[in-house]
Amino acid sequence: MRNLDENSITDAVLARHEHAPDERLKAIVTSLVRHLHAFAREVGLTEREWEAGIRFLTDVGHITDERRQEFILLSDTLGLSMLVTAMAHRKPDGCTEATVFGPFFVGDAPDYRNGDDVANGACGEPCFVSGVVRGPDGESVSSARIEVWQADADGFYDVQYGHADTHRARGVLHSLPDGRYHFRSIVAEPYPIPHDGPVGRMLEALGRHPWRPAHLHFMITAPGYERLVTHVFREGDQYLDSDAVFGVRSSLVAPWVRHECGTAPDGTVMATPFSTLAFDFVLSRSS
């Protein structure tokens, strides 16, 4: 087809996909093309602006590596990650809500027993975390795989330090026969998402801050139940209502209770102040 203009080019592009063998791919790309073309028309996109957009996406790709996923940050900060999560994980009433996965999960975290210190030297005030994993009818879920990870007191995850062989403030444990779990870590603190790259420049240009409220990541899996990826957020944090990645849910906010020196829940005599966090999870049954 020749001599296309701004009014006819969209239909011409869609016609090229008419015989795509994958119907789902065809549907996605068709909608994407329609929305992209409509966007360009709506804002009157100029060549200079289009080139700037291409440079931006190129920069996002260049800074992305095995330790930093700038495309996930971009998706997170545009609210797309949370939108997809919300659509994909509509939970029955009473089940723990899901939230964004984030870019700092690793698949080879060390195994711990209940009661162990997963901080493994990460800087921060000690925190003792405990709770129960249950099903929707209140049944205890034993041997659930619980993966936890968090930033340290300086706002960095272990992978951001570049020491691939040292895992800190992350680990894997399993719920006990009665569904209980408990471990020691550090107090969660608010931190900015990495903002020294193109996503950070985008946020600055839009007058937005890069901060996330303090939180602890959990991923819980158990046979017969849907996988749960979520956070527990620290009550009272100043960024709960302006999370840079739109991940906060009221049901996921909990108090970190601070204690002066004394005996911790596991019987350890603490010479410094410490905190406790208690949070129960309710898993949704898999279909």
Q: For residue 161, what pLDDT is reported?
A: 84
Q: Residue 159: how many CB atoms within 10 A of its CB?
A: 20
CA gap 88, 106 in Å, rounded = 22
Cβ neighbours of residue 198 closer than 8 Å, sequence gap 6 or more:
56, 59, 60, 63, 70, 74
Residue type, 19: H
Q: Do 168 and 276 share a domain, yes or no?
A: yes
Final residue of a structural domain among 22, 48, 74 = 74
Considering the domain boundaries, does residue 2 fall inside one? no
Bridge partner list, 180: 132
For helices 23-43 and 9-16, give the axis angle rounded to 10 degrees: 170
Residue 64 and residue 151 in one domain: no
Q: Are 99 and 231 in contact (CB under 8 A)?
A: yes
Amino acid at the residue 33 = V
Q: Tell me the mean pLDDT per 10 residues along the chain, length 287.
A: 89 95 97 97 97 98 90 95 93 93 88 96 95 97 98 91 80 97 96 95 98 97 97 97 96 96 90 96 94
The reply to whether 197 and 114 lie within a common domain is yes
From first CA to last CA, the distance across the chain in angstroms is: 48
Is the Cβ–Cβ distance between 148 and 218 less than 8 Å? yes
Identify the domain boundary among 20, 49, 74.
Answer: 74
pLDDT given for residue 28 in this prediction: 97
- 94 and 216 in a single domain? The answer is yes
Domain membership of residue 81 (yes or no) is no
DSSP state of 154: T
Cα separation, 195 vs 185, in Å, equals: 26
Q: What pLDDT is attached to residue 66?
A: 79
By C-alpha distance, which of 173, 164, 216, 214 is closest to 190?
214
What token pair was written down for 198? Answer: 């193109």
Answer for the pair 167, 111: CB distance below 8 angstroms, yes or no: no
- Asked which of 74, 107, 131 is the last residue of a domain, the reply is 74
**Helix or strand (DSSP H, E) at 72:** helix 70-77
Task: Collect all residues with Cβ–Cβ distance below 8 Å to 89 and sequence separation of at least 6.
Answer: 97, 98, 226
Tell me whether residue 199 is in a domain. Answer: yes
Q: Which tokens sit at 279? A: 């949070």
Residues 43 and 130 in one domain: no
- Identify whether 85 is part of a domain: no
Residue 171 in domain: yes
Q: Provide the 8-state DSSP code for 91.
A: P
pLDDT of residue 108: 87
Shared domain check, 119 and 49: no
Q: Which residue range forms the structural domain that includes residue 124?
A: 90-282
Q: How many domains does the chain have?
A: 2
One domain, residues 246 and 208: yes
Residue 261 to residue 272: CA distance in whole angstroms: 5
Shared domain for 173 and 37, answered yes or no, is no
Same domain, 38 and 173: no
Residue 106 half-sphere exposure toward CB, CA atoms < 13 A: 22
Q: Tell me, yes or no, whether 181 and 275 share the same domain.
A: yes
Place of tokens 């966007």: 39
Residue 252: inside a domain: yes
Residue 19 lies in a domain: yes
3-state class of 275 per DSSP?
A: strand
pLDDT of residue 164: 58
CA dist., res. 75 & res. 145, Å (int)? 27
Q: Do 173 and 99 belong together in one domain?
A: yes
Q: Residue 203: what are its φ and ψ, rounded to 5°?
A: -60, -45
Q: Are residues 180 and 274 in the same domain?
A: yes
pLDDT of amino acid 163? 64
pTM of the model: 0.90
Q: Comparing C-alpha atoms, which of 212, 208, 206 is closest to residue 193?
A: 212
Q: Is residue 84 part of a domain?
A: no
- Candidates 90, 81, 89, 88; CA nearest to 244 is 81
Check which CATH number belongs to the domain holding 147 and give it: 2.60.130.10
